[in-house]
Structure 1
């Protein structure tokens, strides 16, 4: 495993949703609070951001070349060639004060995502699945800050994160649906001052999570035991993704929205996109099926 390096100074207020686009060989991530959808090309170092029409929680490559994006007021498609966002669907029953926060795809091309109270005060967040145009509740509800979900390499498990509750849950998953969520890891017992943020699963079916206020990413075994923790030069670490030709380059997003000037002096690289060579590989994410 190599040293953690800063690959892009994004000055992100709330960097999130990092993901490797294998077809384009670029990294996508968002800055939720600045309404930015970033792309970064590791081969050339080129990068740019597009202005989203609202707070954008995630962007996932979809079949046909578009990205499927979760914004505060629903799902959008984004055309990278035309740099255009287009509203696709509302999320039925979502409170106006909520926003969408994190997402992933499963092996069948369904998109799993969560919502949360934008003020982070009410437990109004829950999880959903977007299944070829149909959006329905699926997974835990009554959560202040949802993160994930994340899908196992084998596709038989789905992980849900309750960030303020400092816990990760797991449920059985199949092509026909999702089972009841059960406890997986109590991150508060291991990192009492940190909060589990975005999760991702590697090719060995271990789950990694960013640790907000913890300055680390942590890896857990399939039975919920802490395996390793890696220091990141940012206090508020949000999410990790595996990328590169061999899926062994880990990309990590970070945030600055809750940091004071003294915190920024201690973590001057906060808000950046980081990378390191991981001890294990990840795997390619399925493209979202829009219809």
Structure 2
């Protein structure tokens, strides 16, 4: 196994939401706090950027062209070359400032996206609690709230048979599973498959805050842990930890499979909130990393398959 920097210091704020676009062999991702959306061409090595007007939680490609981007409390369609934004949906203000966070498309092409309360401080890391919600933008353009009274809605993944949806609530630190109806998009039978509890940075055994997530073709889930620089693989059926990857950056945020054979793991990281001492110890903070030689593959990423 090898861990390398593939896009150096791309996100001096909070890198997040990597999505491998198999059709163009490119990686799209965001810097939340710097308000940027990136597209990296793995063939040419070129990195393009679109700057937006508010914090951007995630980006996913659309089958009919362009991208869905979550900007502040609003979902837009982004036409990349012209940078034209078309507003689709806006959620109400809750508390001191909620915003969209992580989001992905399900196997039917619906866009699932969570929200979170405002970050009140980085040291210690505190949030406006229970202001998060989980939404679904259906392929017919309808917009539904599926969960509420969450704090940080985060990683999403679906099993190979499309019958289970996995979902991370970063605070208080849980990976949940739901029975999933891919035809209707309904979820039910909520249960916790891994419970990490509260993050204690003074405890060397603490894994960190579960953040973004992806799934491999064996239906094992790979979770990036914010605060400890790790990506950890779990069997969600048993909750057992299978494998651990150390990333030379404390603030690992999310991951996805990519590459020509979907056997490379791309990992986003953050620099926002770090101290000068931390940046000296981890100079690659804010870079995108690539992990190779894992011996596993991911699925082609789902894209939005609906109307705007």
TM-score (norm 1): 0.94
- Counterpart for residue 179 of structure 2: 172
**Equivalent residues in 2 for 1:116-265 (5 A)?**
116-119=116-119, 120-132=127-139, 133-139=141-147, 141-174=148-181, 175-176=183-184, 177-188=186-197, 192=206, 194-223=208-237, 224-265=239-280
Q: Distance in 2 between matches of 1:137 and 1:286?
A: 21
Deviation at 1:285, TM superposition (A): 1.8
For residues 105-155 of structure 1, what are the alpha-carbon distances to aligned partners after superposition, in whole Å with 9 as ceiling and x for unaligned? 11111111100012322211011111021111114x322211022222221
In the superposition, relative to structure 1, how do residues 65 and 185 fare at CA in structure 2: closer, same or farther (>3 Å)?
same
- Extract unaligned runs of 5+ from structure 1: none
Q: Distance in 1 between matches of 2:86 and 2:288?
A: 27
- Counterpart for residue 300 of structure 2: 284
- Counterpart for residue 101 of structure 2: 101
In the superposition, relative to structure 1, how do residues 180 and 138 fare at CA in structure 2: closer, same or farther (>3 Å)?
farther
For 2:212, what is the secondary structure of its paired residue? Answer: strand
In the superposition, relative to structure 1, how do residues 121 and 262 fare at CA in structure 2: closer, same or farther (>3 Å)?
same
In the superposition, relative to structure 1, how do residues 222 and 122 fare at CA in structure 2: closer, same or farther (>3 Å)?
closer
For residues 70-89 of structure 1, what are the alpha-carbon distances to aligned partners after superposition, in whole Å with 9 as ceiling and x for unaligned? 11121101112222222122
Deviation at 1:197, TM superposition (A): 0.3
Deviation at 1:201, TM superposition (A): 0.9
Moved more, 239-248 or 3-12: 3-12
- CA contact under 8 A between 2:194 and 2:236: conserved in structure 1? no
Q: Distance in 1 between matches of 2:205 and 2:137?
A: 33
In the superposition, relative to structure 1, how do residues 167 and 34 fare at CA in structure 2: closer, same or farther (>3 Å)?
same
Q: Distance in 2 between matches of 1:188 and 1:122?
A: 15
For residues 161-212 of structure 1, what are the alpha-carbon distances to aligned partners after superposition, in whole Å with 9 as ceiling and x for unaligned? 1112111111111122111321110234995251100011111111111000
TM-score (norm 2): 0.89
- Counterpart for residue 201 of structure 2: none
- Counterpart for residue 21 of structure 1: 21
For residues 218-238 of structure 1, what are the alpha-carbon distances to aligned partners after superposition, in whole Å with 9 as ceiling and x for unaligned? 000131211101001110100
For 1:264, what is the secondary structure of its paired residue? Answer: helix
For residues 247-282 of structure 1, what are the alpha-carbon distances to aligned partners after superposition, in whole Å with 9 as ceiling and x for unaligned? 011110001112100011111100001101132100
For 2:189, what is the secondary structure of its paired residue? Answer: coil
- Extract unaligned runs of 5+ from structure 2: 120-126, 199-203
Q: Distance in 2 between matches of 1:22 and 1:168?
A: 27
- Counterpart for residue 34 of structure 1: 34
- Counterpart for residue 78 of structure 1: 78
- CA contact under 8 A between 2:11 and 2:269: conserved in structure 1? no
